[in-house]
Amino acid sequence: MTASKVKHRISSTSIRPVKSLDLLSHREIAGLMAADMDVSQLFRECALAVLNTDSKEDDAAQVLADHHDFDIRVVSQSRGLKLDIFNAPITAFVDGTMIRGIQEHLFSVLRDIVFTEHKMSRGSKFDLQTSDGITDAVFRILRNAGVVKPNIAPALVVCWGGHSINREEYDYSKHVGYELGLRGLNIGTGCGIGAMKGPMKGAAVGHAKQQITNGRYVGITEPGIIASESPNAIVNELVILPDIEKRLEAFVRLAHTIIVFPGGAGTAEEVLYILSLLMHPDNAQELPLPLIFAAPESNPEYFATLDKFIRITLGDEAARYYQIVVGKPDEVARKAKRGVDSVHRDRRKTQEAYYYNWRLHIDKMLQSPFEPTHENMASLQLDRSMPKHELAAQLRRAFSGIVAGNVKAFGIEQIAQQGPYQISGEVEIMDALDDLLRGFVEQRRMKLGSGEYVPCYQVVH
């Protein structure tokens, strides 16, 4: 690999596959080369996000504007493929040589966006019209990425939380991760910075102390969010799902316990998603999927306000599906370990797969991609007379739209063209939503940076 350095860019370099796509037939390479313009552009954007690892910028449009001269090309050769890269961020290199973890991530992007698109989607091998078909598609994408691993005892703790958090919250998530690592548990996150990086970084130290050399740090993302939450350097298994709904399904199908750290609208979206699942009548058989909310003693307000919002909108019964722990990182880890052990016992008893939770019922509404247009946001049904799991799913979509308006290129463009999203519904829900979002803004949980936040939404009372 050679490179020439110009200012803050590496003007040109070439890399070959690492782990992913390192052995392809000529026909498979030809399929990669035949990707249409939309897929090629998507690959370019996600590749730039990977090369921009640990960036402090969470505006996808701004990242693309700052690197408008960036380009990446798939080159076919008889001994395999390579990537030619032009004007890449210099932070992805050490003395002109690309960091190996970032190199691996680039080929994971190529595998999931181009290879999966050509091999499966365009070959009509995915059934995305039925609930079972979507679940099967998510499994096959994860299997193709090598993320589902048979004959390994449950040990994956999924950690959710925000990328825009303060130092105390980051250090706390890292301490919890350290305690998890000491107990031999692996970490899965949204792969970005903040509360996604902290648990992985802590677990890496815990694993090192226990001389665990095969620790797993699974990063699960999707094209719409990857530019604002670039994969952190600790991720050693990266997979990109086609959209946020399949990303969320991948999380809950893989998880043996879920820990939620403080975050913003995106974290609230994830919480409402999992509550909609757990409250669904078809999951009434009490499938073990432990859910822990964890916050440092110095900043307990996030879950205090979120818990209040959940109780107002979904009722006190919703609170029985989670437990809140303030401080005590070791206690959080012990609870997570007990949760993982309970899942292990249940899967052994029922002869279910350790690596993928097939039994969990996910309603089609939670699987269908939600496009956050102004019309769709205004049409959300937010009424406490509807079944609680359906209301939770509708609220999840509201927060999904807010996330899009904050950091996703499509949402930012929508807001620029048509102004803020209008969200309306039952008065009590709107009051609670308004209070929650105001709290997020005051706590600077909506976006990175110190500038004044301009809301991408209006709560209509």
Task: Return the minimum-mean-pLDDT range out of 230-239, 241-250, 317-326, 442-451.
Answer: 442-451
Listed ranges 102-111, 116-125, 167-176; the one with the highest mean pLDDT: 167-176
CB 221 within 8 A of CB 242: no
pTM here is 0.91
Sort residue 390 into left (φ over 0), alpha (ψ -120 to 50) or beta.
alpha
pLDDT at 241 over 80: yes
pLDDT at 1 over 60: no
pLDDT in tens, 216-239: 999 999 988 887 678 888 999 999
Alpha-carbon Rg for the chain, nearest whole angstrom, is 21
Sort residue 194 into left (φ over 0), alpha (ψ -120 to 50) or beta.
left
pLDDT in tens, 45-102: 889 989 987 666 556 667 777 888 899 988 887 777 889 999 999 989 999 899 999 9
CA distances from 240 to 114, 151, 193, 317, 391 (A): 11, 24, 16, 34, 28
Q: Looking at residue 8, what DSSP letter applies?
A: T
Supply the pLDDT for residue 3.
47
CA distances from 128 to 247, 274, 364, 368 (A): 14, 21, 10, 9
pLDDT in tens, 379-431: 999 999 999 999 999 999 999 999 888 878 788 889 999 999 999 999 999 99
Supply the pLDDT for residue 141.
93
Q: Looking at residue 196, what DSSP letter applies?
A: G
Longest dimension (CA), the chain: 65
CB 175 within 8 A of CB 277: no
CB 46 within 8 A of CB 223: yes
Task: Catalogue all structural domains in the chain, each as residue range(s) with its CATH number.
Answer: 3-125 (3.30.1850.10), 135-350 (3.40.50.450), 373-460 (no CATH)
Task: Return the minimum-mean-pLDDT range out of 196-200, 426-430, 436-440.
Answer: 436-440
CA distance 391 to 425: 11
Task: Round the average pLDDT of the chain to a whole number and report it.
Answer: 89
3-state secondary structure of 179: helix
